[in-house]
Amino acid sequence: MKNVPQTVLVTGGAGFIGSAVCRHLVASGKYRVVNLDKLTYAGNLTSLRDLDGNPNYVFRKADICDTDKVRKILADEAVDLVMHLAAESHVDRSIDGPMAFVTTNVVGTASLLQAVLDHWRSLGEEARKRFRFHHVSTDEVFGDLPFDSGVFTEDSPYKPSSPYSASKAASDHFVRAWHETYGLPVVLSNCSNNYGPYHFPEKLIPLVIANALDEQPLPVYGKGANIRDWLFVEDHARALEAVMTGGRIGESYNIGGRAERTNLEVVEAICALLDARRPRNGGRSHLDLITYVTDRPGHDRRYAIDPTKSEQELGWTPLETFETGLARTVDWYLANGWWWRPIREQRFDGTRQGLVAAK
Ligand SMILES: NC(=O)c1ccc[n+]([C@@H]2O[C@H](COP(=O)([O-])OP(=O)(O)OC[C@H]3O[C@@H](n4cnc5c(N)ncnc54)[C@H](O)[C@@H]3O)[C@@H](O)[C@H]2O)c1
């Protein structure tokens, strides 16, 4: 039997959540992490510079659609566990160009499953028993809720609205199919909106912080009434480790922060934090920069997660409230312009850029 550290292959480890997962798993001392990432516009190895030279971290550039290459990496690195985060993840981009989402999120996940199944079958009996394929998904697969009632549980029906959520829903189904059909030991998790350090500055919270610091408009879709549940990214990384190691095979786990906020409340909270930390010249509030813009097509009204199963079965709870997590996030963006300014200035090519979306 192999001793710790176990080798975890993290797909999409150069992205926002994936990089938090890599940092968290390596810091725990329990794992050797292999980060497999294609480095699309959303992948950024500078998010992982803290791990440079760490013997328990290795980066392998690959596309999850390339089954042969992934199969070879799984074998060469003697992978014990897989956590799958690689995806196209931005709803607005999925509206402008849905096929990239079908290719990576649907075909890519199925291609990865094929490589992982071959790898799992090649393992000895003990390693096969310990192996897990953890698929990281989103609450958006459940569609939307009325403003004033309802909550997503693990049994909520799938009812995705956008090309992004439809592609994630399809990937969830493929993962379950590989379990039911081939016996692959899978676990799934569906999480609400994440925020925190190293978040690509096209998403709501980092975009609003960056625009406010640059004295640019803070555009809010519609009336800003859409509601999302928010979770600090490091709390998600802790939850993902708990699901990967403690989740029951074939089960899914909802993860959320019990922190529902309207988009407008989120923007207002950021403005208040910035007013206190970095007042504008002339003393006016950053709130004056808010601008309302035409709503996104098919914009889900509300997402709300019931994380009771994760809390009770896995003993996981968030360490940050929305208020403490948001303050940490604003402070991080104030201190780390070296990370987000180059992305904003050189690489930010979203065709709907400048519009504020929650995810
Ligand atoms: N951000 C959220 O709020 C949130 C919430 C719930 C679930 N999720 C899910 O978590 C995962 C990670 O989300 P994120 O916000 O960190 O996304 P992200 O866009 O920041 O990162 C995605 C990463 O995947 C990589 N990637 C894309 N296509 C690839 C391919 N074909 N092969 C290999 N690598 C590829 C990118 O280079 C990037 O590093 C996604 O599966 C997403 O659906 C995100």
Dist. CA 286 → ligand 1 center (Å): 30
Report the interhelical angle of 322-335 vs 204-213 (nearest 10°): 50
Tell me the sheet residues that pair with 191. Answer: 138, 255
Which residue lies with its CA nearest to atom 1 of ligand 1? 194
pLDDT at 163 over 90: yes
Which residues form ligand 1's pocket by a CB distance below 6 Å? 11-12, 14-18, 37-40, 42-43, 63-65, 85-87, 89, 104, 108, 136, 138, 168, 191, 193-194, 200, 359
- Atom number in ligand 1 closest to CA 90: 19
180 is catalytic: no
- Atom number in ligand 1 closest to CA 64: 32
Best mutation site among 10, 16, 45 for ligand 1 pocket (most ligand atoms within 8 Å of CB) = 16
pLDDT at 355 over 50: no
Q: State the pTM of this model.
A: 0.95
Residue 5: phi and psi, rounded to 5, are -80, 145
Domain extents for the chain? 6-199+229-259+302-321
Which residue lies with its CA nearest to atom 44 of ligand 1? 138
CATH superfamily of 6-199+229-259+302-321: NAD(P)-binding Rossmann-like Domain (3.40.50.720)
Burial of 90 (0-12, 13-18, 19+ CB in 10 A): buried
331 is catalytic: no
pLDDT at 1 over 50: no
Looking at residue 317, its pLDDT comes to 97
Dist. CA 319 → ligand 1 center (Å): 23
Q: In this predicted model, which residue has the larger pLDDT, 290 or 1?
A: 290
Q: What is the pLDDT of residues 71-90, one digit of tens each?
A: 999 999 999 999 999 999 99
Dist. CA 43 → ligand 1 center (Å): 8
pLDDT at 2 over 50: no
Looking at residue 347, its pLDDT comes to 52
Q: What is the pLDDT of residues 17-46, one digit of tens each?
A: 999 999 999 999 999 999 999 999 999 999
Dist. CA 55 → ligand 1 center (Å): 25
Determine the average pLDDT of the residues in 100-111: 98
Q: Which of 31, 57, 164, 333 is catalytic?
A: 164
